Structure 1
Amino acid sequence: MSLQNTSIKVTEFIIGGFDAVKVPMAVGVVILTVYVVGFLANVINILFIVYDKKLHKPMYILICNLAIVDILYTSSASPTMVRTLIAGVNTISYVPCLIQMFAFNLGAVMEMLALSVMAFDRLLAVSCPFHYHIYLTNARTLVLTFILWIVGCCLAAVFLATLIPLPHCYSVLKYAFCDYPALIRTTCSDPEYYFNTIAIIIFIVLFFTFSFICLSYFAIIFFVKVSSSSDKKKMGSTCLSHLIVVTCYYCPVFVRSILTRLGVVLSLQERNGLIIGSFLGPPLINPCVYCLRTKEIKYKIFKLFTKH
């Protein structure tokens, strides 16, 4: 009998990625706490930028865009995991599961694209400080951001397009939420072909975005070398926030996406830990980094608490 004949109609999936967790309530509370703190921090960041006209500049528009991406990224899977761990509800309907997968993949792609365009912004600020606001206006920044979202949606749609036509033979997801590998493993098809296809797409996006960021910083280092000491300090402070954010995002992504394709075997718990860290860590760290290291936002927060 062929696999096609054993396919079943799936109306909902069972999330089995946390079956081996010994203290699900404690893990759920930790995830919920990190999610809520990160969500509120990003919302506060957005509100500061939106309501202060002095912050209506290209750099802050990009920070605001990153905050929106962070909210999407962390909100795509965190509520489902919290519901599974704390409430014990380990099922999710078919369509919401596909929407969750799309949102998660869109958030992951947009995180890379957002960090890349922010590296370009820092390069312009360092290399052309006197013409920066001529080259990168608010209107151009908004158009560029809009284009990035279109590109991100198209890339995330590839995951859906390869998955939807496939028949399903299983309804249990091995992983912690509705991500692409978990859903592919529920189909009746050979997963390796689809894993390899998507791995190529992920590698291309990772390679080009990370390479672009690295090249931008090589150029920044060149301009820093020929600058005065005071300018070097200012440039270093300007770029450090972005470097911290880039490191926090790309490290777990490289471990999970690149090393595993090179034959490094990760246990289910290790893989779930890397994935959860990759979309809970940056949304928590990013707003804190930009609030603490961006003097305009830091001043606004200080003024808010010392106003009276």
Structure 2
Amino acid sequence: INQKMGNSSESFSFVLAAYGNVGALKYMYFVMILFWYLFICVANTVLIVVIRVDRRLHEPMYILLCNLCVNEINSSTSLYPLLLSQMFSDIHGITLTWCFLQMSCMYTSASVEFCSLAAMAYDRYIAICHPFSYNVIMNTERVFLLILLVWIFSFVSFLLSYSFIYSLKFCGDIIDNVYCDHQLIIRLSCSVSIQSSLSIIFFVIMSILLPFTLISVSYLKILAVCRKTSTENKQKAVTTCTPQIVSVSNLFIGCICYSIDFRFLVAQVPDEVRIILAIYLLICQPILTPFMYGFNLPKIRQSCKMLLFKRK
């Protein structure tokens, strides 16, 4: 046990116990994780570059998509470099400061993900339900302001929810995971106050339930309008909205996987499965975004072909 237990200083460190001893397999895991991380970064960067280069894509929907891709890179960077650095470590230790930094990146990214999808759902609602007012309501300046507010809101939401963790005193230092999970860290504190439960509830309401409510209302109104329009307009609405619906559905699958308490299923669930489910969102979501939008939106697909094959 860490000798500095009971102190909440920068020198206090945790042990990420879920890595275990994988022996020679660590080389294979390292290559797989590195490849996947680079694959995520390249795929999202390509989409960002395509949107930046093609002036026809300088529209609110694609600017919001570009922001979503930036967030996918940010969320992946909050996890994968740590995984890679721990592969060849015998101790698997991480200081409280780095733990807090990782949590700030991960949970801010999670909030940005939901809020960005809410902004994209609102954009589709205005485009489909109020097409004549679209250029006035969703102009470029307002979109960039909306993106800025999303990031500020998400970061402030994290700070208000979890900043108290940095001042906690700990009576344990073993985190049974491959990254710093706030729930597991709170369990290691010497005294669990009602503040910890309230902080989780506050973060879930502000960063997940509120954006999901906005997404649901937007799509219900879109569905109501689409029922009264032509078949062609219905197809256009389905084409532009399907990627967002898939993204939201995948996010909730990930949230369910993250929320499962495996302490009661240790005997039934292998360690590898438990770890994969814990980081499911950061495995699937960052690569789902560029491929869902890249292959489903005609304008993006056409611009990708022009960029790759130099067609004019």
TM-score (norm 2): 0.87
SS in 1 for 2:78: helix
**Contact 2:239/2:297 (<8 A) preserved:** no
**1:20 Cα deviation after fit:** 6.6
CA change 1:92–1:235 in 2 (3 A) is same
Query: Which residue does the alignment assign to 1:32?
Result: 34
**Contact 1:45/1:67 (<8 A) preserved:** yes
CA change 1:20–1:196 in 2 (3 A) is farther
RMSD: 2.5
Deviates more, 1:14-23 or 1:136-145: 14-23
The separation in 1 between residues aligned to 2:115 and 2:203, in whole angstroms, is 12
CA change 1:109–1:194 in 2 (3 A) is same
Query: Which residue does the alignment assign to 2:18?
Result: 17
Task: For structure 1, list consecutive stretches of 5 or more residues without a partner in the other structure.
Answer: none
The answer to whether 1:216 aligns with 2:218 is: yes
The separation in 2 between residues aligned to 1:167 and 1:68, in whole angstroms, is 35
CA change 1:275–1:100 in 2 (3 A) is same
The separation in 1 between residues aligned to 2:47 and 2:231, in whole angstroms, is 31
The separation in 2 between residues aligned to 1:152 and 1:53, in whole angstroms, is 29
Query: Which residue does the alignment assign to 2:60?
Result: 58
The separation in 2 between residues aligned to 1:26 and 1:181, in whole angstroms, is 30
CA change 1:113–1:264 in 2 (3 A) is farther
Query: Superposition pairs for residues 40-119 of structure 1, below 5 Å?
Result: 40-85=42-87, 90-119=92-121
AA aligned opposite 1:42: N
Of the candidates 204, 221, 225, which is equivalent to residue 227 of structure 2? 225
**Contact 1:124/1:132 (<8 A) preserved:** yes
**Contact 2:51/2:58 (<8 A) preserved:** yes
**1:76 Cα deviation after fit:** 0.5
The list of structure 1 runs, each at least 4 consecutive aligned residues, that deviate by more than 6 angstroms after superposition, is: none
**1:54 Cα deviation after fit:** 2.1
AA aligned opposite 1:179: D
AA aligned opposite 1:102: S
Query: Superposition pairs for residues 269-280 of structure 1, below 5 Å?
Result: 269=271, 270-280=273-283
AA aligned opposite 1:232: K
Deviates more, 1:159-168 or 1:34-43: 159-168
Query: Which residue does the alignment assign to 2:295?
Result: 292
CA change 1:275–1:195 in 2 (3 A) is farther
SS in 1 for 2:177: coil
The separation in 1 between residues aligned to 2:240 and 2:98, in whole angstroms, is 41
**Contact 1:83/1:89 (<8 A) preserved:** no
The separation in 1 between residues aligned to 2:91 and 2:305, in whole angstroms, is 42
**Contact 2:34/2:84 (<8 A) preserved:** yes
Of the candidates 124, 127, 140, which is equivalent to residue 126 of structure 2? 124
Query: Which residue does the alignment assign to 1:251?
Result: 253
The separation in 2 between residues aligned to 1:88 and 1:241, in whole angstroms, is 42
In the alignment of these two chains, the number of paired residues is 300
The separation in 1 between residues aligned to 2:164 and 2:148, in whole angstroms, is 25
**Contact 2:96/2:166 (<8 A) preserved:** no
**Contact 2:226/2:233 (<8 A) preserved:** yes
The answer to whether 1:196 aligns with 2:201 is: no
**1:6 Cα deviation after fit:** 6.2
Query: Which residue does the alignment assign to 1:306?
Result: 309
CA change 1:103–1:266 in 2 (3 A) is farther
TM-score (norm 1): 0.88
The separation in 2 between residues aligned to 1:228 and 1:6, in whole angstroms, is 67
CA change 1:220–1:180 in 2 (3 A) is same
The separation in 2 between residues aligned to 1:233 and 1:54, in whole angstroms, is 21
Query: Which residue does the alignment assign to 2:6?
Result: 7
Percent of residue pairs identical: 25
CA change 1:265–1:222 in 2 (3 A) is farther
**Contact 1:35/1:284 (<8 A) preserved:** no
